[in-house]
Amino acid sequence: MLITCTNCATSYEMAANDLGPTGRSVRCARCQHMWFAANTEALAEIAEAHRADMAEFSASMVSSVPAAEPAPGSPEEPAFPPAEDSSLAQPEPTDQAGFEASPPPEAVTISDAPPLAPAGHTSAPPAAESGGEDIESAAARRAVRQAAQRRRWQQSSWTTALLVLIALNLALVGWRSDVVRWLPQTASLYAAIGLPVNLRGLVFTNVATEKETHDGVAVLLVEGTIVNAAKRAVEVPRLRFAIRNQDGHEIYSWTALPDRNALMPGEALPFRSRLASPPREGQQVLVRFFNRRDLVAGVQ
């Protein structure tokens, strides 16, 4: 037989024997609401049997009492003996449909999924978290809980993004040599923010220029030290010297070979170069290593 929850209208298919002859208290598996489910089939059968018994009892009593002919002019006598006659004892009072009253059975919880959906509903309503709570209160508390979860998710997302950004910056700074080796165009960017990258591993230190006169000829003296800052042995290429004017334009350049071709880690190598009759408009001397671009420019 089909029973329906009086709170959320969810339908359940149950055997009539599970409800007992009079019914019993049941609890909805969805909303936890408890109500008394009557066994209408058993009650109908009991009522039908009771009516049949009463009809049979009445027929037997009428057939056992002879009919008395009433005297002329006297009122009609009752067909049944007086109520005080002990032979016609009234049946004991029964509960509802004729069976003896018994204490209500213990409530049971329906755990099976409903095979039939309630009429007029496409889906079951949300279950309340407590038996006496209405749908509006449960929805409001669920909305507050979902809002708190969204705030926690947003905070965790911002924290994760910040940590990723910090880690990326540290990687770009700490491994800038590898970044420039893979992407040479980023060398100017690192130099612009004060983090120049030296892929060669050689550093110029104590660079100084001095003008001298020998036999009436002006001589420009450039000297300094080359230091191997890498953790490996590095080959020392040819040195390139360039003179720039006041506007920063290069007006003269020359090259020189170092005294040694390689330096061990941490080793230093002094260098010195002279230029006779330097340009009078020269204001600055730039020292660096000769590279492939200088070779292409010299060929052109």
What is the per-residue pLDDT across 57-78, written as a single tens digit (0 to 9) for each?
Answer: 777 776 665 555 555 554 554 4
Strand order, beta sheet including 202-214: 202-214, 217-228, 268-276
Q: List, in order, residues 6 or more apart from 142 with CB less than 8 Å away.
A: 126
Residue 206 predicted with pLDDT over 90: yes
Residue 48 predicted with pLDDT over 70: yes
Per-domain boundaries in the chain: 2-128, 134-198, 200-299
Task: Quote the tokens at residue 297.
Answer: 């420019």
Instruction: Please name the fold of domain 200-299.
Output: Immunoglobulin-like (2.60.40)
Out of 89-93, 213-217, 220-224, give the one with best mean pLDDT: 220-224
pLDDT number for residue 92: 47
Which residue pairs from 203-210 have beta carbons closer than 8 angstroms and sit at least 24 positions apart in sequence? Answer: 203/227, 203/229, 204/287, 204/288, 205/268, 207/287, 209/285
Residue 25 predicted with pLDDT over 80: yes
- H or E element at residue 61: helix 40-64
* Percent of the chain clearing pLDDT 70 (strictly above): 73
Alpha-carbon distances, residue 266 vs 82, 108, 227, 245 (angstroms): 135, 86, 6, 34
Which residue pairs from 131-136 have beta carbons closer than 8 angstroms and sit at least 24 positions apart in sequence? Answer: 131/31, 131/32, 131/33, 131/34
Residue 111 predicted with pLDDT over 80: no
Residue 113 predicted with pLDDT over 90: no
Task: Quote the tokens at residue 38.
Answer: 């009557």
118 falls in which pLDDT band (50, 70, 90)? Answer: very low
- Over the Cα atoms of the chain, what is R_g? 55
Residue 82 predicted with pLDDT over 60: no
* Percent of the chain clearing pLDDT 90 (strictly above): 21
Task: Quote the tokens at residue 198.
Answer: 């030296």
* Lowest model confidence (mean pLDDT) among 50-64, 109-123, 203-217, 282-296: 109-123
Can you tell me the mean pLDDT for 171-197? 74
Tally the residues of the chain.
300
Mean of all residue pLDDT scores within the chain: 75
Reported as a single tens digit per residue, the pLDDT across 240-281 is: 999 999 998 999 999 999 999 999 999 999 999 999 999 989
Alpha-carbon distances, residue 99 vs 16, 43, 95 (angstroms): 17, 9, 6
Q: List, in order, residues 6 or more apart from 226 with CB less than 8 Å away.
A: 202, 203, 204, 205, 236, 258, 263, 268, 269, 270, 271
Residue 115 predicted with pLDDT over 70: no
87 falls in which pLDDT band (50, 70, 90)? Answer: very low
Burial of 189 (0-12, 13-18, 19+ CB in 10 A): middle
Residue 79 predicted with pLDDT over 80: no
In this structure, the number of other CB atoms found within 10 A of the CB of residue 254 comes to 13
- Considering only residues 82 and 229, tell me which one the structure prediction assigns the higher pLDDT: 229
Buried b (16+ CB within 10 A) or exposed e, 32-69: bbbeebebeebbeebeeebeeeeeeeeeeeeeeeeeee
